Structure 1
């Protein structure tokens, strides 16, 4: 496949509360686009407020895909995401529209655009549970040390508190007899069918943190506590506990912590998550970053995006 035959894909990434949803909609309107979400929690049905799922008003008539389409009690992996997102890119292209991937789940974006081939590695729920139990008994760092002994490079790239990825890396090492790093290298052997351009959106850290705090307050006003309580009452909805905004309210529902303290914890964990997102995305030197300030200058943001897109020459669709 020649470079000109590859499908153009635009992506908008960045930390939570950076304005990705709004920019994705603006770009879609400007470039005849459709949005493909790259958010690992917005894909679930019913998890609306805590995940900042875009409302119909925020979508503003732009087609959005992979939002609220998976049952809340279903397991969903990166491989599952790729199996849905790749056909969507082709379908959108066939409609002569521009696929615009929007989201903050770095693993989804970094697997989709470079066309990572995930090996059909067997999964072992019992083995995963053993690792999780070990972490619960001995701590996340102790489990991370196990990975460090098997695959130092993977351990250096995965934070000890990212239990999902630590457990997955250990599972792959155990089941394949190879390092997780070696399996990753093998997955990049097939060239990508996409001509992708990735725009990164963020604010100066202090401003971003202020926006996060304000967003959490807005979520509480919109009914976050009631939504989290519904999750708390239903054992089948344990998937939701991975989303910040639910698990932090459990102490309040258990009567051992005040609501105000739990809300402060949500803000703290969201700020930490944003920092991890930035760390992940900044490893990608292909991302074209736009650093914003306190003022909402939509026209200025669009002008910057248009210059980036025009300079790259990657997008082949006409502008209205």
Structure 2
């Protein structure tokens, strides 16, 4: 059975650094699972900067375009000698979603395995990782721009009521984080609407990646964590670093075409708060404070999501010999049944 690794965890915990480290040790290549880093021009605020001790941003290295496919740019960045895929895939105006990620993620998995290398999925967007590894029944449901335009000004409570009316079972199955996430609520309403109108839930019409159509992999899921207060310090440091690297200038460039930006970009952490500053809704100091607070909340929601997956083996990055123990675990798994 072909093997792959997933490196998961909250924002600022050092996932990319660890994934590159493992790729160097085990002849791997990376697939980024980040719902914001897929966008071109979202470089500094989204965290496409390389880990500590590595120089420059991905945009300062050469992007190798493999092919152009409609709105998608398919290729990779070369970090030293490690390839990483699914960065800079679409323009900020495109509404990238989990079905896009699954489609390209599967292609890159096959491509990496054909080269007899180890695929390493790295990122904090748990929904994307789950979609790629486990499949999601409703991921091929197309975007309904008319419905999204209708719902975009609804507050969270109104969206919750709308979804309860459309599909109470779906609402009841959502965790607290998703119930209070406008984008997740709108997507759930979108899916519920399609099922209701086109009866996609029937055996003949259900949109599903069936288990017998999916390849089986031997998956090692690695979770990185640290103490809560330490993570907050890491988040603060990272936000401050990105401000020094030019986060405000990056936001200003995107803000020039604000009306054309996708909702994902408008509401992404860092961008949303700096856009509020550029709209003169808050001071710069307040925008920065709100950015950091949003990252704290996001990291907590990420841990709630990942804690529900019992397959994940957790490693505390603050522990002595963390990497030594990690390599030992990966080595035992990697050489099993070879």
Q: TM-score under structure 2 normalisation?
A: 0.81
Q: Does 1:130 align with 2:150?
A: yes
RMSD between aligned residues: 2.6
Pairing of 1:274-285 with structure 2 (within 5 A): 274-285=299-310
Deviation at 1:130, TM superposition (A): 1.9
Greater mean deviation of Cα atoms: 71-80 or 104-113? 71-80
SS of equivalent to 2:152: helix
Aligned to 1:22: 17
Deviation at 1:153, TM superposition (A): 4.2
Pairing of 1:1-320 with structure 2 (within 5 A): 4=1, 7-55=2-50, 57=55, 59-116=79-136, 118=138, 120-133=140-153, 135=154, 139-156=155-172, 157-158=174-175, 159-177=178-196, 187=209, 189-190=211-212, 191-235=214-258, 236-238=260-262, 239-293=264-318, 300-312=321-333
CA contact (8 A) 2:138 2:191 kept: no
Given the superposition, is the C-alpha separation of residues 62 and 313 from structure 1 closer, same or farther in structure 2, using an over 3 Å criterion? closer
Deviation at 1:311, TM superposition (A): 4.5
Where does structure 1 lack aligned partners over 5 or more consecutive residues?
Answer: none
CA contact (8 A) 1:50 1:243 kept: no
SS of equivalent to 2:134: coil
Deviation at 1:287, TM superposition (A): 0.5
Greater mean deviation of Cα atoms: 139-148 or 282-291? 139-148
Given the superposition, is the C-alpha separation of residues 118 and 195 from structure 1 closer, same or farther in structure 2, using an over 3 Å criterion? farther
Q: Which has the higher helix share?
A: 1
CA contact (8 A) 1:20 1:201 kept: yes
Q: Deviations over 1:125-151 (max 9, x none)?
A: 212222223x1xxx2022112223443
Greater mean deviation of Cα atoms: 195-204 or 237-246? 237-246
Q: Please give the alpha-carbon distance, in whole angstroms, between the structure 2 residues aligned to 1:247 and 1:109.
A: 24
Deviation at 1:45, TM superposition (A): 1.0
Greater mean deviation of Cα atoms: 86-95 or 235-244? 235-244
Deviation at 1:233, TM superposition (A): 1.7
Aligned length: 303
Q: Please give the alpha-carbon distance, in whole angstroms, between the structure 2 residues aligned to 1:120 and 1:246.
A: 28
SS of equivalent to 1:113: helix
